[in-house]
Structure 1
Amino acid sequence: MNLKELPFSMKPVGWFQIGWSGEFPVGEVKALRYFGEDLVAFRGEDGVLRLMNAHCHHLGAHLGHGGKVKDNCITCPYHGWVWSGEGKNVEIPYQENTVNKRLKTWPVTEQHGCIFMWHDPTNSAPRWELPHMFDSFREFSDRDESEFYPIFPHGTRRWPDEPVHPQITFENSVDSMHFRYVHNSPLDPMLLEMDIRDNDSVFRTLFGFKSVRTNNIEMTFDTRTSGVGCSFNVFKGAYNYRVLFSATPIDDEKSELFNTIWWERKDGEEGDMPVAIQDRIKNEILTTVDEDLVVWRHQKYVDRPMLAKQDVKAFNQLRKWQAGFYDLPAAE
């Protein structure tokens, strides 16, 4: 996909996944790059994860390469300057005074073992909250996180450096026909419900799969797409599992994609995910993004697509909603 030809930028407003909690243990430092920015993430001794611009204001060393956690701060590997989790210079080890200079910090949130950063070109504070993989689906399912196997590491996979815009990936949320051709589904899901909720921050769809034998709907999946960064999905039927799919811009040419699976435990089961389930998730669910990428990597964005009659309302409503996450004025 030629991202330079798209009619929208790679810098939308919203929450975007940057990893899983298991990748960020206390006391460790991690270099990241998203939205064209070199970033550093570290978890202080208080257990809180911080995210900030990576280059020390002294001589530009990258704090993510050799930097060390000191209490709830990060120490530059070059000359030992210490920066607080709020981005403030709090210590220069060889002089008494510090500098009145701050590193930019980025809001982060962790929920159900996943980590998200807030991106807003106006530097506004988060304008909305993310859906929650469990609390947001109470009217659809009463299952709690403790009733599922741990997601990390066996229920996770990432695709770095993909030439794909996040917005393109979430058009799948209204596209029922691609299941047959891309994923070899024996049935086409039916779009049962569609609405916009949570102060216009979430696009929700409900699909149903009919049984070949009875012609009744025997499996449903409820999708909550937050902005153009994350899609929370609950599948209910013969198998009850949940999927978080996320796409985060790295720069103006590439994104990083994430897939996370919550697989329901059987009654009384404890401990880690059995190998048989690990293999099934790896071979049947995590690979669905591979199938989509065959199309996404080479797709040309069509601004005025020729749509089948059944697709017109859903695609038009989704794209109109997606347009609201670009070029927003600063929040009051």
Structure 2
Amino acid sequence: MDLSGLPFSNRPVGWFQIGWSGEFAPGTAHPLRYFGHDLVAFRTLVGELSVLDGHCPHLGAHLGYGGKVKGDCVACPYHGWEWDTEGRNARIPYQDSPMKMSLRKWPVREQHGCVFMWHDPTGAPPRWALPHVFESYPALPGREEDYYPPYGNSTARFDRESVHTQVTMENGVDSVHFRHTHNAPVDPVLEDWVIRDAELHTRVGFLSPATGNVALTLHNITAGVGLSFSAFEGSYHYRLVFAGTPVDDDTTDYHYTIWYPREPGDTGSIMPPDLRQRIKSQFLYTLEEDMLIWRTQAYVPRPTYAKQDIKPYTAMRKWQKNFYNLPPLNQNSA
């Protein structure tokens, strides 16, 4: 996708996924790059995960490449300066006292095995809450323990894609593409959509070819322009998160996570091989089908809409403008 003609930046405000909890083991440090910033993620031995700006201000070494976790700090691999989970300089090995200086700390949340980070170009703290994989669907009760843990079982990742998250999140109001892109046997219907502050809630019904009744309902929450939370009701009962996180002005990382119900009596953490393969071929593969479109898609600022597209598409695009170029927030009011 050619991003040069898009009427918005690749650095919107919101929550974005930066990985899965299982990728950040206790006592390890990892380099990351998102929103044009070099970052370091490290987890202390007691399990706290922190994300800081990645370069030590002493002489610029990257803390994620060779950095060592010591207590609640990450130590620079160059001269051993230590930075705690709040980003504060906690120790300089060859000096009696640390420096009164800090690295930027990025807000992170871990939820059911996923790691999310807040991004705001103004440096403001989170302006809204992160949706929840299970609790955001009060009409569809579910417990995490009733599903296999996704990491290692049912996740997919696409790195450094030249695909803007705005384009991918517009799938939230697009029911027609299921038939043509994913070979759905029926034409799903967008039954309802409503905007609630930083969230767009949609409901899509899949009709049974045999009865004409709704056999499967997709409940979706689009949060800003970086996250999509979905829960299926009916013939399937799995849940998923689709996330696009800008790396820089030209590329984006995509994460796809599926929570699938356990087989009866199975309390283990690993899916049966046949189930894992079925999820990969039937569900995870749908993201590859979408990517085939998005990678070569041209963004059309003023589309020629079909009649049923006009209201939801125009409402969504108007709403998503709210996530670009937000003014600084009074941090005392957050």
Q: 1:95 offset after TM fit, Å?
A: 1.4
Asked if the contact 1:57–1:101 (Cα under 8 Å) also holds between the matched residues in 2, the reply is no
Asked if the contact 2:39–2:64 (Cα under 8 Å) also holds between the matched residues in 1, the reply is yes
Q: Return the TM-score normalized by structure 2.
A: 0.97
In 1, the alpha carbon distance for the partners of 2:317 and 2:217 equals 24
Q: 1:177 offset after TM fit, Å?
A: 1.2
Q: 1:19 offset after TM fit, Å?
A: 0.4
Q: Provide the secondary structure at the position in 1 that maps to 2:279.
A: helix
In 2, the alpha carbon distance for the partners of 1:76 and 1:228 equals 34
| Residue matched to 2:303 | 305
Q: Runs of 4+ in structure 1 displaced over 3 angstroms?
A: none
The answer to whether the aligner puts 1:218 opposite 2:196 as a matched pair is no
Q: 1:45 offset after TM fit, Å?
A: 2.3
Q: Return the TM-score normalized by structure 1.
A: 0.97
In 2, the alpha carbon distance for the partners of 1:83 and 1:178 equals 48
Q: 1:266 offset after TM fit, Å?
A: 3.3
Structure 1 window deviating more from structure 2 (91-100 vs 275-284): it is: 91-100
Structure 1 window deviating more from structure 2 (86-95 vs 11-20): it is: 86-95
Q: 1:34 offset after TM fit, Å?
A: 0.4
| Residue matched to 1:255 | 252
| Residue matched to 1:182 | 181
In 2, the alpha carbon distance for the partners of 1:189 and 1:283 equals 21
The count of residues paired between Structure 1 and Structure 2 equals 329
The answer to whether the aligner puts 1:232 opposite 2:264 as a matched pair is no
Asked if the contact 2:161–2:253 (Cα under 8 Å) also holds between the matched residues in 1, the reply is yes
User: Which runs of 5 or more residues in structure 2 are unaligned?
Assistant: none
Q: Provide the secondary structure at the position in 2 that maps to 1:327.
A: coil
| Residue matched to 1:321 | 319
Asked if the contact 2:176–2:189 (Cα under 8 Å) also holds between the matched residues in 1, the reply is no
Q: 1:121 offset after TM fit, Å?
A: 0.6
In 2, the alpha carbon distance for the partners of 1:94 and 1:265 equals 54
Q: Provide the secondary structure at the position in 2 that maps to 1:127.
A: coil
User: Which runs of 5 or more residues in structure 1 are unaligned?
Assistant: none
Q: 1:98 offset after TM fit, Å?
A: 2.0
| Residue matched to 1:204 | 201
In 2, the alpha carbon distance for the partners of 1:266 and 1:219 equals 20
In 1, the alpha carbon distance for the partners of 2:109 and 2:266 equals 30
In 2, the alpha carbon distance for the partners of 1:36 and 1:3 equals 15
The answer to whether the aligner puts 1:31 opposite 2:28 as a matched pair is no
In 2, the alpha carbon distance for the partners of 1:178 and 1:214 equals 22
What does residue range 1-332 of structure 1 map to in structure 2 within 5 Å?
1-139=1-139, 141-197=140-196, 200-271=197-268, 272-332=270-330
CA deviation vs aligned residue, 1:52-74 (integer Å, no higher than 9, x gap)? 11100111000000000011110
Letter in 1 for 2:317: R
CA root-mean-square deviation: 0.9
